[in-house]
A and B are shown apart, each in its own frame.
Chain A
Amino acid sequence: MAATNDSVDSKLTSAELTKRNDLRSRKPYVADKLAQIAVMEERGEISPIIRLEKSYLCNFQCTHCSAEFYMDRHLEKTGVTDERRKMNMDDVRTLSRQADELGLARFVITGGEPLVMRDFDEVVAAIDPEKHYVITDTNGWFMDEARAKHIKSIGVEKAQISIDSFIEAEHDAFRNKPGAYKRAMRGIYACLDAGLNLIIQTVLIKGRAHTKEFLDFCEFATKHGIGLYVSYAKPTGSCTQHPEFVIDKEEADFLRELEKKYNVFTHMTPSYGSFKGCITVKGIITVTSSMEVTPCPYIDFSLGNLRETSLKEVLARGMRNPWLGPYRPDCLIGEDPQFIKMHTEKTADAKLLPLPWGQGFSDEDKLIP
């Protein structure tokens, strides 16, 4: 495997290579799998990150939350009872094994807010940090020094802290949580001190890329050597009522210009020698608490339920779907008006999300009806 790793390594930046070598010294099996991703893609295989939504419990109520409609508080508000069987630890272990057999290498524990999960440590163990690169999303509220050191000690490699404005009052208002900004900033330094890899996640609503606030944020992240991961606002979840949040091509291009100067990137930015464009299925999938698999965090159409369909077949369904499989440079749910319209219409009256396979996506899908 070494020769192949060398050729992949030649495509990495020095910072990427340093991180990869550090991981290789501690977790060679995981590092080798990561190094194989570009090789797999060359063979037509994929190695998406698996986002694991075991619980939607959250201490925040954010304006743009993509998971709001999955949450118990939303179901209670709408009087819907969700009788779907929920993910348990055996499911996580089975998924980990299936993913490993397919060469998949990365899990993100997300939610909800992962750090409110009582069984967080157990989930990490069930994923198996010796076999997979484990990442956690967090709003940072509970990420103090002790927690950061603890999650590092149980095998988590990376934290992804969400901050939606570099201006404290704006972030707190967007998150509907006074004190959210201070806690998130504390979390950043706690993660760095604990030796966790770290990125800051931020949602880009239309017009924000051109603001001083955003440029200051880029400057801050770059100065601290932290990647600023920018997610375009998508018209799903709580954001469904805010189509004006969706950015246009000019702003997407402007953001690509900022990549030259700042440590800022999106899910379409080439990384680790991989050029995937929109990463639906190819670079990411989400497993919901009812074991449905969606092709990205913001698309509420399932590609199948893992209790009925193998992960391998679910991924194959995604790759043969004309919306998801082919390489494309734009964000499907964030930039393609036709898909956004179809998604909005199909999910409008849904009581439970995601829509099962056959109701949202199917093998009959066509770009032009």
Chain B
Amino acid sequence: MPDAIIDLAIFDEHGRCVPSSDLKAEVHRRTRRRFVCIQPEIDYSAIHSRIAGALNDDGGLSRDDFERQARSVLDKVSRDPATSGLAKGIHLPFFLPRMPDALSRDIGSDLDKIYLPAVEKSFLDAHPQSSYTRHHKGSLTGQLSVTGGSRHDRLLQAVSRTTVVGYFFLALQEYSVPASVEQVRRLPDTFLLAGGADTCAAFAGSPSLLLNPDAYPPLLWLAALSAEKLQTAYHLEAYGRNLTFNRRVHFDQAAEYWAAGLTVLAE
């Protein structure tokens, strides 16, 4: 259950989640929108193809089913006045193939071996002149866990049962990582804080997310994943026309350059 009563219009006209008034962790109440992404084109067929190719998925989910389920998510949030603002912000459909042992697998190892390579492949396929650099060289095995209260465990539960389809919304701009977790607890149950698998799948489907020739895009935290050390997290970040993955201490601070995503799964 949410920790607080939900107000109408939880998301503003740019799809940003309006910070709850009682958040204790650091968040910017207002934003001047200095760091912004460009909404990628939603071509369900192309996105399906990119994700399937990047994750080596051999076709458990048809393109039509992907589109139908993803559209149902977007239609639902658009119809509800409290969440309709989300559709005006950055939104990316994605799917994750079923993984029966998802709940017992090592999250860091899966990022190392499955999801980050998927991001790299999709990004470089789409932008062969660009580069992907993994600045953090160490293995992630054993380094990551699901942050309590993030609801990201529900994504893993769902993936353990079936192939999941969902939408990733870049809605938590200028939230500290702890504020992202706090905020999710105040949202309807259907909203999950994005972690590694969902963020990477969404990125693999829309690999131009962090490319913006006219403005700097934000740094994208994998906010639902706790690192091996407090106040530390992992992220995707643009470097000009290129993509990087790195680890950074964030000291629970908010910054106008920082963002995290929300995930909503199809029912």
Contact = CB atoms under 8 A, between A and B. Distances in A.
Contacts, number: 64
Given A249-B212, A327-B257, A329-B216, 5 more contacts: A249-B215, A253-B240, A328-B257, A329-B238, A338-B34
A260 interface: yes
Contacts of A367: 28, 32, 256
Contact of A256 (B212, B214, B241, B248): B241
B31 to A, nearest CB: 8
A338 B257 contact: no
B215 A328 contact: no
B24 interface: no
A270 B135 contact: yes
A90 interface: no
Nearest to B229: A42
21 contacts: A44-B249, A44-B251, A248-B214, A249-B213, A249-B216, A253-B213, A256-B240, A256-B242, A257-B241, A275-B246, A326-B254, A326-B255, A327-B255, A327-B258, A328-B35, A328-B216, A328-B256, A329-B238, A338-B32, A367-B32, A368-B32
A184 to B, nearest CB: 29
Interface of B: 28, 30-32, 34-35, 131, 135, 137, 212-216, 219, 237-242, 246, 248-249, 251, 253-258
B213 A256 contact: no
B248 A327 contact: yes
A122 interface: no
Contacts of A256: 239-242
Contacts of B212: 249
Contacts of B32: 338, 367-368
Contacts of B214: 248-250
B256 A326 contact: yes
Contacts of B240: 252-257
Contacts of A270: 135
Interface residues of A, number: 27
A45 to B, nearest CB: 11
Interface string A236-254: 0000000000001110111
A329 B256 CA distance: 11
Contacts of A255: 240
Nearest to A260: B131
A155 to B, nearest CB: 33
B135 A42 contact: no
Nearest to A337: B34
B188 to A, nearest CB: 29
A275 B241 contact: no
A328 B256 CA distance: 8
A327 B177 CA distance: 14
B216 A330 contact: yes
B228 to A, nearest CB: 12
Interface in A155-170: none
User: Can you list the 7 inter-chain pairs with the closest CB atoms, starting with the nearest?
Assistant: A256-B240, A326-B255, A253-B240, A328-B257, A368-B30, A330-B216, A329-B216
Most buried by B among A10, A11, A253: A253
A336 interface: yes
A275 B137 contact: no
B215 A326 contact: no
Contacts of B249: 41-42, 44
B250 to A, nearest CB: 8
Contact of B257 (A42, A275, A326, A368): A326
A4 to B, nearest CB: 15
Contacts of B213: 249-250, 253
Nearest to B217: A329
